[in-house]
């Protein structure tokens, strides 16, 4: 249920209303828009209290939210959410580029990569520390040591960093070293992890599970937001289809659909979605043309030394060209990069 408040509603009146909401067993989520404040009444069976809510003077209207996800829906919040990471704004007019190696290997490689992507105009440095690998015999990531190298690269370049968390036991350490905490496709429906991430301050980038519908993906986002962390960035990274000439199939359709259904920003990861170096830039450009708020791409200065996903890492020179093209596409669709 969304309670739209009249302009000029006073603090004590809002407090009386939120106390009532809590007393009835629901959780109030207040969102202050440019003109009006609204309160999301979240729980089960709140619709039968519609008349009680409407009896409050400050309530202009009480509207049920029909979607299964509430707080992340456009019904709850009309304006796009813009997430600010040290001045890098995700979800605004600017298109944001996250780049870096699949996994952090050596300090030297990461520093070379970080400096190169920064020179080409990237905004955020990525680097895996805890790696979700299909095989238990594959490289599993350098863990905390990698997070520390990532933090050094941040100091060197001033780029905010993003790294993946796989387990509730890693949340504290990943959140300490990483500006944005990434949830990978394989953990997109790890609900206990999502609930935990709802209680930290860092923005969360939530990838779409490779077999999740958009609705399931938004329900996962709702898990995080309903626990109090509103800073969720969605990331389309390809879904499983019958096609096997690329690693997954990037669902470009998801971009306008997500923009319609939710106020959260959406990033596209063509690296994991496509999996073939030479095809990646084209899909990165297509994502921006279709309205994505940014992209995440894997870049490695020496792909043959990469400990994971070397075959899909762009060389810095390819990344640089992609950035030049991307700036033009961004401008063509009324944005900038
Ligand atoms: C990653 O970005 O490092 C990754 C493992 O991607 P995904 O979860 O999309 O497979
Ligand atoms: Mn990878």
Q: What is the mean pLDDT of residues 244-251?
A: 98
Query: Which residue is it, tokens 């990461």?
Result: 110
Structural domain harbouring 32:
2-63
Instruction: Looking at the structure, tell me whether residues 138 and 281 fall in a common domain.
Output: yes
Measuring CA to CA, which residue among 67, 94, 77, 87 is closest to residue 32?
Answer: 77
- Tokens for 295? 């992209």
Residue 208 Cβ inside 6 Å of ligand 1? The answer reads no
Instruction: Looking at the structure, tell me whether residues 219 and 281 fall in a common domain.
Output: yes
Q: Given this model, what pLDDT does residue 34 score?
A: 75
Rounded-to-integer distance, Cα 123 and Cα 161, Å: 9
Domains contained in the chain, number = 2
Confidence of residue 81 (pLDDT cuts 50, 70, 90): very high
Confidence of residue 33 (pLDDT cuts 50, 70, 90): confident
Instruction: Looking at the structure, tell me whether residues 217 and 301 fall in a common domain.
Output: yes
Confidence of residue 167 (pLDDT cuts 50, 70, 90): very high
Residue 273 Cβ inside 6 Å of ligand 1? The answer reads no
Q: Point out the domain boundary residue: 63, 94, 115.
A: 63
Instruction: Looking at the structure, tell me whether residues 268 and 145 fall in a common domain.
Output: yes
Whole-angstrom distance between the N-terminal and C-terminal Cα of the chain?
37
CATH number of the domain that residue 54 is part of: 3.30.70.1140
- Tokens for 237? 């990274």
Structural domain includes residue 76: no
Rounded-to-integer distance, Cα 264 and Cα 236, Å: 13
Rounded-to-integer distance, Cα 233 and Cα 80, Å: 11
Residue 100 Cβ inside 6 Å of ligand 1? The answer reads no
- Ligand approaching nearest to the C-alpha of 164: 1
DSSP string of 57-69, one letter each residue: TTEEEEE---SS-
Tens digits of per-residue pLDDT, 176-214?
999 999 999 999 999 999 999 999 999 999 999 999 999
Q: Which 3 state secondary structure label does DSSP give 244? A: coil
Ligand 1 atom closest to the Cα of residue 238 is 9
Instruction: Looking at the structure, tell me whether residues 135 and 48 fall in a common domain.
Output: no
Q: What is the 3-state secondary structure (H, E, C) of 265-315?
A: CEEECHHHHHCCHHHHHHHHHHHHHCCCCEEEEEECCCHHHCCCCHHHCEC
Asked whether residue 280 carries a pLDDT value surpassing 90, the answer given is yes
Asked whether residue 117 carries a pLDDT value surpassing 80, the answer given is yes
Measuring CA to CA, which residue among 46, 41, 73, 329 is closest to residue 222?
Answer: 73
Rounded-to-integer distance, Cα 336 and Cα 319, Å: 17
Residue 164 Cβ inside 6 Å of ligand 1? The answer reads yes
Instruction: Looking at the structure, tell me whether residues 53 and 125 fall in a common domain.
Output: no
Asked whether residue 105 carries a pLDDT value surpassing 90, the answer given is yes
Rounded-to-integer distance, Cα 201 and Cα 181, Å: 10
Residue 272 Cβ inside 6 Å of ligand 1? The answer reads yes
Asked whether residue 274 carries a pLDDT value surpassing 80, the answer given is yes
Confidence of residue 35 (pLDDT cuts 50, 70, 90): confident
Cα 167 to averaged position of ligand 1 atoms, centre (Å) = 14
- Tokens for 27? 């959780």
Are the C-beta atoms of residues 211 and 239 closer than 8 Å to each other?
yes
Cα 166 to averaged position of ligand 2 atoms, centre (Å) = 14
Asked whether residue 330 carries a pLDDT value surpassing 90, the answer given is yes
Confidence of residue 36 (pLDDT cuts 50, 70, 90): confident
* Torsion sign across C-alpha atoms 319, 329, 273, 246: negative
By percentage, how much of the chain surpasses pLDDT 90? 96
Structure pTM?
Answer: 0.96
Asked whether residue 106 carries a pLDDT value surpassing 80, the answer given is yes
Instruction: Looking at the structure, tell me whether residues 183 and 252 fall in a common domain.
Output: yes
Query: CA triplet 282, 214, 2: central angle to 5 degrees?
Result: 125
Instruction: Looking at the structure, tell me whether residues 213 and 101 fall in a common domain.
Output: yes
Backbone angles phi, psi at 39, to 5 degrees: -120, 125
Closest C-alpha residue for ligand 1 atom 6? 184
Instruction: Looking at the structure, tell me whether residues 29 and 148 fall in a common domain.
Output: no
Structural domain includes residue 68: no
Closest C-alpha residue for ligand 1 atom 4? 184
DSSP string of 229-249, one letter each residue: ---EEEEE--B--S--SSSSB
Strand 124-126 and strand 96-100: pairing? parallel
Rounded-to-integer distance, Cα 331 and Cα 186, Å: 34
Confidence of residue 132 (pLDDT cuts 50, 70, 90): very high
Q: Give the mean pLDDT of the chain.
A: 97
Instruction: Looking at the structure, tell me whether residues 131 and 255 fall in a common domain.
Output: yes
Structural domain includes residue 257: yes
């Amino acid at each position: 249920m969304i309670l739209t408040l009249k302009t000029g509603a006073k603090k004590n009146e809002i407090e009386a209303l939120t106390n009532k909401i809590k007393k009835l067993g629901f959780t109030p989520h207040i969102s202050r828009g440019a003109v009006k404040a609204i309160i999301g009444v979240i729980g089960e069976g709140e619709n039968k209290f519609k008349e009680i809510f409407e009896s409050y003077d400050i309530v202009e209207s009480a509207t049920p939210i029909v979607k299964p996800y509430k707080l992340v829906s456009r019904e709850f919040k009309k304006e796009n959410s813009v997430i600010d990471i040290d001045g890098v704004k995700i979800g605004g007019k600017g298109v944001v580029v996250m780049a870096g190696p699949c996994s952090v290997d050596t300090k030297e490689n990461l520093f070379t990569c970080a400096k190169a992507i920064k020179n080409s105009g990237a905004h955020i440095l990525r680097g895996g520390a805890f790696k979700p690998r299909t095989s238990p015999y594959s490289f599993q990531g350098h863990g905390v040591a990698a997070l520390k190298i990532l933090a050094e690269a941040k100091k060197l370049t001033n780029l905010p960093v993003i790294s993946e968390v796989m387990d509730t036991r890693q949340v504290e350490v990943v959140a300490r070293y990483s500006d944005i905490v990434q949830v990978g496709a394989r953990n997109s429906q790890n609900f206990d992890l999502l609930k935990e991430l709802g209680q930290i301050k860092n923005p969360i980038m939530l990838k779409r599970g490779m077999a999740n519908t958009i609705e399931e993906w938004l329900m996962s986002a709702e898990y995080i937001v309903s626990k109090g962390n509103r800073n969720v960035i969605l990331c389309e990274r390809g879904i499983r289809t019958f096609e096997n000439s690329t690693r997954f199939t990037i669902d470009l359709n998801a971009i306008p659909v997500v923009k319609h259904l939710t106020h959260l920003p959406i990033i596209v990861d063509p690296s994991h979605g496509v999996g073939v170096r030479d095809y990646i830039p084209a899909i990165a450009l297509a994502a921006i043309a279709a309205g994505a708020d940014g992209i995440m791409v894997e870049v490695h200065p020496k792909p043959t030394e990469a400990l994971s996903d070397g075959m899909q890492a762009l060389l810095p020179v390819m990344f640089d060209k992609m950035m030049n093209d991307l700036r033009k596409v961004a401008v063509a669709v009324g944005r900038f990069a």
